[in-house]
Amino acid sequence: MKKSVRSCVVEKKTCKSDPFTIRDGHYVAHDGFVVPKDFEEFYERFPDYVRNWVSKHGDRFATNENLEDWTQDLLLHLGCLPRTSKHREGGKKDVVQVFDPVLHYGANEARFRNYINRCLANRFSTMRSKRMKDALGRPGNLSLDGQTEGEDFGAVCDEYCHSHSAYLQTEAYIAEKQAHDAALCHEFEDFVRREDPNVLSAIEAICSTGSQRDAANRLGVTRHEFDRMLMRLRQLRKCFVSDEPVPRKRRPYKKRIMKTRQFSYSQPRHPFGRAQAPHLVIRAIRS
């Protein structure tokens, strides 16, 4: 037996378009905004629009030269349609003239700006993708030119690369700093081994574990004993840096043992005497 299937008709909700009028060849929105007729009018009314857009959406590591180049390329994109564009058949010459308020559901300022932003974003994405595919445009590459001595301009020495590459200069500075820190650590270890070798194990434990709690557990000492070792290391570090004489190490405090007093117990002497105590007590109670 076949089950009956109900056919449901779903109506698609269309976005309601804002009313607009045409006045002197311009689209005028219901809020009074007048859409620029072409790119020249757009640039005259909003001269810094594309520059501000590039500053907001560009790479934060980009230089001022790159931002200026991207701005000029986007302005050229808005000011001239490609020769193979289908909109040229309708008499359009630039991207601003292609704006259609019917397709964008209105001609107010928000919808016009959304159209311009989408055009800029699509073009900027294409420019960035093309730039990443170009080996010369990738960040981190060495900047090489022909300012070399001799006739062989293709031969570039290491000194020239390091002097003209910010990336290599930063890496060289980091490597030099790491080597200097390592040498300083070795000197401090020798100083501790010479002045107080008992706390040298604390340095090795901290370097191998990375935390004070794990270092104390590895040495098998209490937290109080490990804190005393750290205080001694800070004292040695201060003397190592200032070149002052190392003071004597304090002896560990010993716990004081409270001595209990010994009391001698003796039976108190009765004031009434042993022989007369019973009947004298009864007499004192009755009286």
Question: Mean per-residue pLDDT for 130-145?
Answer: 59
Query: What radius of gyration do the chain's Cα atoms show?
Result: 45
CATH code of domain 20-137 = 1.10.1740
Average pLDDT over residues 130-154: 55
> Would you place residue 229 in the very low, low, confident or very high pLDDT band (cuts 50, 70, 90)?
confident
Q: How far apart are the first and last CA of the chain?
A: 120
Buried-state track 61-96, b at ≥16 Cβ within 10 A, e below 16: eeeeeeeeebbeebbebbbebeeeeeeeeeebebbb
- Tens digit of each residue's pLDDT (9 = 90 or more) over 158-211: 666 666 677 777 888 888 888 888 888 888 888 888 888 888 888 888 877 877
CA–CA separation, 95 vs 81, rounded Å? 6
d(CA 11, CA 2): 28
Domain ranges of the chain: 20-137, 166-242
Angle at 121 between CA 118 and CA 125, to 5 degrees: 145
CB 29 within 8 A of CB 108: yes
What is the rounded average pLDDT of the residues 86-95? 89
* Per-residue DSSP letter, 27: E
**Region 121-125: what's the mean pLDDT?**
89
The band of 24, judged by pLDDT with boundaries at 50, 70 and 90, is confident
More confidently predicted of 193 and 36: 36
Higher pLDDT, 86 or 266: 86
Comparing 21 with 196, the larger pLDDT belongs to 21
What is the pLDDT of the chain when averaged over all its residues?
Answer: 76
Query: In this predicted structure, what is the pLDDT of residue 4?
Result: 44
Residue 118 identity: R
Stretch among 67-71, 91-95, 130-134, 238-242 having the lowest mean pLDDT: 130-134
> What was the pLDDT predicted at 47?
92
pLDDT at 25 over 70: yes
Residue written as tokens 């981190």? Answer: 140
- Burial category of 14 from C-beta neighbours within 10 Å (exposed 0-12, middle 13-18, buried 19 and up): exposed
For the full predicted model, state whether its pTM sits above 0.75: no
- Can you read off the two tokens belonging to residue 48? 């810094």
49-53, 77-81, 137-141, 270-274, range with the lowest pLDDT? 270-274
Closest alpha carbon to 93 in 144, 136, 39: 39
pLDDT tens, residue by residue, 59-85: 776 778 888 888 999 999 999 998 888
**pLDDT higher for 113 or 287?**
113
Written as one letter, the residue type at 176 is E
pLDDT at 264 over 60: no
The sign of the torsion formed by the CA atoms of 149, 150, 153, 154 equals negative
Is 86 in a helix, a strand, or coil? helix
Q: In the prediction, which pLDDT does 11 show? A: 43
Beta bridge partners of 26: 23
| pLDDT tens per residue across span 242-252 | 888 878 776 66
Confidence at residue 208, expressed as pLDDT on a 0 to 100 scale:
79
Residue type for position 133:
K
At 23, which helix (H) or strand (E)?
strand 20-23
The amino acid at residue 245 is P
252 vs 213: CA distance, rounded Å: 21
> In angstroms, what CA-CA distances link 180 with 131, 137, 187, 252, 256?
39, 35, 11, 36, 47
Residue with tokens 């031969």: 155
Could you tell me the pLDDT band of residue 141, with boundaries at 50, 70 and 90? low
* Mean pLDDT of the region 254-264: 59
Average pLDDT over residues 6-22: 61
pLDDT category, 254, cuts 50, 70, 90? low
